[in-house]
Structure 1
Amino acid sequence: MERKLGFGIIGTGSIANFHANCIEKIDNANLLGVYSKSQARANQVAENFNCPVFWDMEKLLSNPNIDIICVCNESGLHSITIDKIAKSGKHVLCEKPLETSIEKIDKIAAIVKSSGIQLGCVFQNRENPEYKKLKSYISKGTLGKILMCQTSINWYRPPSYYQGSWRGTHSLDGGAALINQGIHTIDLMLDIMGDVNEISAFVDTLYHEIEGEDIAVATLKFKSGALGTLSGGTALFPGEPESISVYGTKGNIIFRGGKIVSSSVASIQQELSKLENQSGSGASDPMAITDQFHISVIMDMINAVIFDKTPFISIDQARKPVELINSIYKSKGNRIKIIKT
């Protein structure tokens, strides 16, 4: 008989509800409790998913039937939260970003190593079959030597998105457009292009009344020698699907809104499916995303716990986009070399 793992969720925002919905769809997963600071949201989760709500995190963590905790609270509280979870001996599946700075992520790494728990981070777009196809084309050399990558996350969020929220604050969001919205596409860019050695960037807040950036641009030099550009924002009405365009000596490929949309390489163009898939973009709506990729991430975490193996997105993988974004924030137009530690 397949082992059924117990889950708890910390946080009751929109992404926590998303996790709860995904857990409900997995046969060998069982949601056993939710911790919340918001009574209204907690009651809604309890009603929708028929599970107990805890106002005391320690009571949730003391439940012996819970194996994995999904961390879905404010980004800047992840390290404190993970420390408490690790001390309870439970495993962690953390929403992106793992934390808001590499210093905090390194502390998490030390906590996880000393406690012996498993920790996975949610970068669900890696599970997109269309993205896997994109990565395969590049790794097989179908585009030839890679010369350049253009990445954009030119999204829009209305002012109401930030009002009365932790979003866009330095203390809890660590910034805004790049570290909250852009990080998923930045993760994909790094996964296919490899590490960045040097950057120069500008970030600014031109529309929203927030502490973090609502617009950013950067130039990148990858370890491979390829060059790149990056743009992102949440002030760019009405919002465009995120995109990664890769150019090689044999042609290019355009990945937009979770799909390969075109290529100048004849063999790739011939393979492009005309059928619409169900993946979605959050260009103007933060919840306009499919749940199938989150389900894959949660199932990978279940297997990591059952078989005692490293989750697909490890701490080292989750650190890379935060390191790049932190460097962009620090640049202020200056060239910064990224030294790998």
Structure 2
Amino acid sequence: MKDTPIANLAVIGLGMATKPHLEALAELKGRVNVSGVFNRTHAKAVEVGKTFGFPVFESLDNIANDPNTDGVIIATPPNQRIEIVTKMAKAGKHVLMEKPIERTLDRAQDIVSACENHDITLGIVFQHRFRDGARRLRTLIDQGALGDIALVRAEIPWWRDQSYYDVPGRGTLARDGGGVLISQAIHVLDLMLSLTGPAETVQAFTATSQLHNMETEDFATAGIRFANNAIGSVVATTATYPGEEERLVIDGTKATASLKGGQLTVTWRDGKTENIGDVSGTGGGADPMAFPCDWHRDLIADFASAIRDKHAPCISGREALRVHALIDAMIRSSADGTTTKVAQV
């Protein structure tokens, strides 16, 4: 007898960001069933359906009305999210959505509220939390092994060729809501906040370098004070050729933890070191999708279990608002040239 799948999920949006989702779902076959795929360009949906052996939906209404679909994975551009989420929430479909939630903090809050009002599970795809090194670091912090967190440094020296921004809408306020902060650095900033707790104030500077022709920022830097009195810094860019792995360093009173790509190195004050994971690709270079699907696989499995067991997923929509609030404060700080409070959401 075959095991009953944990959940039946439909995939909405089949652009570049969907690649690791589709590969992960193929690996999860039997545990998570794909009820179908949908794309506004129907030919793309047919192509993906044939490649992966997934059924194809003709419309969003078909998904909303399908009794065999428990939830949806939404991987559309941010400016298409509210319409889709509202339709699915009203139909009782749970939602796992690519980051960011939406283009602005206010719109992101609207989506979270819509799901909460309809008692819908909302999960957000921040797959960096599912890397082995990140999980080990989470455990060490929970155990108090690093001591009190004193300093935090987040560095995202990524590269995107101009052709990346030549795609219509990419890096614009209207479609994406911003540049490097909301589209790339958001992953590391979310991971940072999940480990440090909320940010309290920020002083930031953002700009567009001469290496890109785009509407929004490809460079951002900031100083941060956290609610726990730790202080930190962020440097994020897509203008560093050829791109390097991102790095998150946490200096505690007992040890320093450095997470570079997927590899965690912990240096204890007595001189001992611990290494977990490896420096795998994370999409920081010319190919934004140059990373494995393992993290997406575990994240989707967690979301499916949350639907079945009726508990919050590892990364809920409500929790994901914290990184939106930080980015919102960074943008406002850069525009005003002032130290800015981060909204507590």
Q: Tell whether the structures are fold-level matches, with TM greater than 0.5.
A: yes
Matched residue of 2:234: which SS? strand
Determine the C-alpha separation between the residues in 2 that align with 1:39 and 1:46.
10
- The one-letter amino acid paired with 2:17 is I
Q: How does 1:134-153 map to 2 (within 5 A)?
A: 134-153=137-156
**Match in the other structure for 1:41:** 44
- The one-letter amino acid paired with 1:280 is G
**Pick aligned residue for 2:61 from 58, 62, 76:** 58
Matched residue of 2:47: which SS? helix
The runs of 5 or more residues in structure 2 that have no matched partner are: none
**Pick aligned residue for 2:229 from 225, 228, 233:** 225
1:256-302 CA-partner distances (Å, limit 9, x unpaired):
11111452544750x325xx648432110211222111111111111
Q: Retained in 1: the 8 A contact 2:157–2:245?
A: yes
**Match in the other structure for 1:163:** 166
**Match in the other structure for 2:260:** 256
Q: Retained in 2: the 8 A contact 1:204–1:213?
A: yes
Determine the C-alpha separation between the residues in 2 that align with 1:314 and 1:32.
23
Determine the C-alpha separation between the residues in 1 that align with 2:32 and 2:264.
33
**Match in the other structure for 2:340:** 336
TM-score, L = length of structure 1 = 0.93
**Match in the other structure for 1:310:** 312
Determine the C-alpha separation between the residues in 1 that align with 2:66 and 2:133.
39
**Match in the other structure for 1:174:** 177
- State yes or no: 1:104 paired with 2:107: yes
Offset at residue 241 of structure 1 (A): 0.6
Determine the C-alpha separation between the residues in 1 that align with 2:164 and 2:43.
18
- The one-letter amino acid paired with 2:312 is T
Q: Retained in 2: the 8 A contact 1:214–1:233?
A: yes
Q: Retained in 2: the 8 A contact 1:75–1:172?
A: yes
Matched residue of 1:272: which SS? strand
Determine the C-alpha separation between the residues in 1 that align with 2:232 and 2:87.
40
**Match in the other structure for 2:281:** 280
- State yes or no: 1:129 paired with 2:132: yes
**Match in the other structure for 2:296:** 294
Q: Which moved more, 1:219-228 or 1:108-117?
A: 108-117
Offset at residue 44 of structure 1 (A): 2.5
106 and 157 in structure 1: CA distance in 2 versus 1, 3 angstrom threshold: same
Determine the C-alpha separation between the residues in 1 that align with 2:124 and 2:189.
15
Q: Which moved more, 1:38-47 or 1:292-301?
A: 38-47
Matched residue of 2:324: which SS? helix
Q: Retained in 1: the 8 A contact 2:121–2:307?
A: yes
- The one-letter amino acid paired with 2:137 is L
Identity %: 32
Offset at residue 156 of structure 1 (A): 0.3
Q: Retained in 1: the 8 A contact 2:322–2:344?
A: no
Offset at residue 39 of structure 1 (A): 4.2
**Match in the other structure for 2:95:** 92
1:25-45 CA-partner distances (Å, limit 9, x unpaired):
112222222211234532331
Matched residue of 2:166: which SS? coil
Q: Retained in 2: the 8 A contact 1:10–1:35?
A: yes
Determine the C-alpha separation between the residues in 1 that align with 2:141 and 2:55.
47
Q: Retained in 1: the 8 A contact 2:159–2:284?
A: yes
TM-score, L = length of structure 2 = 0.92
Determine the C-alpha separation between the residues in 1 that align with 2:142 and 2:56.
46
**Pick aligned residue for 2:24 from 22, 25, 29:** 22
Matched residue of 1:85: which SS? helix
**Match in the other structure for 2:70:** 67
338 and 118 in structure 1: CA distance in 2 versus 1, 3 angstrom threshold: same
The runs of 5 or more residues in structure 1 that have no matched partner are: none
RMSD: 1.9
1:211-269 CA-partner distances (Å, limit 9, x unpaired):
12101000000111111000101111111110011112334221111111452544750
- State yes or no: 1:3 paired with 2:7: no
141 and 110 in structure 1: CA distance in 2 versus 1, 3 angstrom threshold: closer
1:111-170 CA-partner distances (Å, limit 9, x unpaired):
112212211111112111211212223333333322111101110010111212332010
